[in-house]
Structure 1
Amino acid sequence: MSGFSGSGALPSGPGFRKPAPRSLSCLSDLDSDSAPEPPPYRPPRRPGRAPPPPPAPSGCDPHLRPIILRRARSLRFADALGLELAQVKVFNAGDDPSVPLHVLSRLAINSDLCCSSPDLEFTLQCLVPDFLPPIQAADFGERLGRQLVCLERVTCSDLGVSGTVRVCNVAFEKQVTVRYTFSDWRSAHEAVARWRGPAGSGGTEDVFAFGFPVPPFLLALGSRVHFALRYRVAGSEYWDNNDGRDYSLTCRKHALHMPRGECEESWIHFI
């Protein structure tokens, strides 16, 4: 049995191995295990609901990022675009205003209402037909059978010209058109008539109604309006142009006579 040579002596023998000294790295590991580092400081969050996470994009859709573009306001002057900076209009105090004739006629009516004799007399400019109503002619039926289309009557008002047309009922599909002009056929316009109802015995005839406006500035003394009628049916075309003379209306002065008491109570006082 072997003894110890001192209090700090280590046992020796064939089965005993001396422990290896620890390295500095191992010592540092021991120090870190014994004293862990404190967690990083995080500021406290404000109370409230946390914002929801953005929806995850699908497998087919690319990841999009919101882009906000703000267009800056720009200021450009007219001269930069080749325009004038100012427009000057000169008005002469001595220039007489241009008043349409139909306005002057209304003013004349109002003046006559204030200072007139017991019987009111005034004149108006309006379109007057240059022909008698064709439906009152003795040969109206003969003309209708020959042309398959014939004007019945026409009326004129401030809204324009209106009238009715009678046609032979050849087929179900049919069209009636009025062609009119204000410039003696240098230019022309068309208006489609609308079906009004059957006529004649056994529904062998139909009646159509038409109308077209007349601008007030065209109502000068002596001005004329011409028109003709066209009838399309079963692939054929028929015309009524007053036997080649056209239907015409002329602007004329029309005299009106009305008792003063009756006029003050009528609608004409408010024109």
Structure 2
Amino acid sequence: MPRGREISLKPPQSPNLRRRCTSLPTPTERAKLEIARSRSPTIKKKVRFADSLGLELISVKHFDDTDVPEGPLHLHHLETKFPRGPAQSVFMELQFTNPGTLPGFEQKVREVNVLLETVEADEFSLSGFVRVLNLAFEKSVSLRYSLNNWITFMDSLASYVPNSSDGDTDKFCFKIVMPTYPDNGGTLQFAIKYCVGGQEFWDNNNGNNYKVRRHRFKMSPPREWENGWIHFI
């Protein structure tokens, strides 16, 4: 039974091999060398350690709380350690009370045929529900709104809410997403149009229209942060 090749773990004793290498072979040269060794049955395989060839061993650095990382980590460190500057916030003020929250809402729908139920507004959209009297199967509900006090206006069709009929009334929902919104202090105005049986019925908040005003304000930091800001020049 042939014996396997022996692996010599003893580092060479020649002084010339103990000197630090001034250059290393390229990946291509190393690949050619390995191929030549594998094809030569007379060459013994040897294990050599990095320090015997003059190479540096792996160095591990331990950081403590006093060390400050460099590069992007340094920026992240500053961002989490110090408070940010005052932020801006937007508040949309409904300048009316949602009719659906008032007593006698359903009775009023039967009287006026169409009535806004609830509405919500944020910085970029307006959404809500409308209740209409079920005068015929074919009907349509739309929202007419303006951002410039009715110099121009737009219509947005509302959608029927499935299974919302109580026999006498139906519910529709709407949502408009606007690429632009009124500036600070600006007002969006809207009214509801209900078309059924060749007739039009309007809900315009008793002639005043429904109005949503936009407010933008700055959020100030707590007083204990006042002396903690970093100023960059």
State the TM-score, normalized to the length of structure 2.
0.54
Runs in 1 of length 4+ with deviation above 3 angstroms? 111-117, 120-123, 198-201, 253-257
Aligned counterparts, 1:234-245, within 5 A: 234-245=197-208
> In the alignment, what sits opposite 2:95?
130
- 1:131-167 deviation digits (Å, cap 9, x = unpaired): 1211000131232111111111111134411111111
> In the alignment, what sits opposite 1:14?
none
Aligned counterparts, 1:178-217, within 5 A: 178-199=143-164, 201=166, 203-216=167-180
SS of 1:197 mapped into structure 2: coil
Aligned counterparts, 1:79-118, within 5 A: 115-116=82-83
SS of 1:146 mapped into structure 2: helix
Aligned partners of 2:182 and 2:188 also within 8 Å: no
SS of 1:138 mapped into structure 2: coil
State the number of aligned residues. Answer: 143
Distance 1:116 1:227, change over 3 A: same
Distance 1:253 1:237, change over 3 A: same
Distance 1:254 1:200, change over 3 A: farther
> Aligned equivalents of 2:144 and 2:79: distance in 1?
39
> Aligned equivalents of 2:169 and 2:79: distance in 1?
48
Aligned partners of 1:197 and 1:206 also within 8 Å: no
**Aligned-pair CA distance for 1:128:** 2.1
Among 191, 203, 211, the residue aligned to 1:228: 191
Aligned partners of 2:90 and 2:123 also within 8 Å: no
Q: Structure 1: where are the runs of 5+ without partners?
A: 1-110, 258-271
**Aligned-pair CA distance for 1:256:** 7.8
State the TM-score, normalized to the length of structure 1.
0.47
> Aligned equivalents of 1:153 and 1:254: distance in 2?
26
Q: Tell me which amino acid in the other structure corresponds to 1:204.
A: D
Q: Structure 2: where are the runs of 5+ without partners?
A: 1-77, 221-233
> Aligned equivalents of 2:201 and 2:149: distance in 1?
22
- 1:148-203 deviation digits (Å, cap 9, x = unpaired): 111111111344111111111111000001100011011111011011134464x2
Distance 1:114 1:234, change over 3 A: farther
Aligned partners of 1:222 and 1:252 also within 8 Å: yes
Aligned counterparts, 1:8-87, within 5 A: none
Distance 1:251 1:170, change over 3 A: same
> Aligned equivalents of 2:92 and 2:176: distance in 1?
13
> In the alignment, what sits opposite 1:16?
none
> In the alignment, what sits opposite 1:139?
104
Distance 1:254 1:205, change over 3 A: farther
Distance 1:182 1:204, change over 3 A: same
> Aligned equivalents of 2:219 and 2:105: distance in 1?
31
> In the alignment, what sits opposite 2:56?
none
Q: Tell me which amino acid in the other structure corresponds to 2:197.
A: A
- 1:85-136 deviation digits (Å, cap 9, x = unpaired): xxxxxxxxxxxxxxxxxxxxxxxxxx9986449xx98551242211121100
| Larger-Rg structure | 1
Aligned partners of 1:198 and 1:205 also within 8 Å: no
SS of 2:171 mapped into structure 1: strand
Percent of aligned pairs with the same amino acid: 28
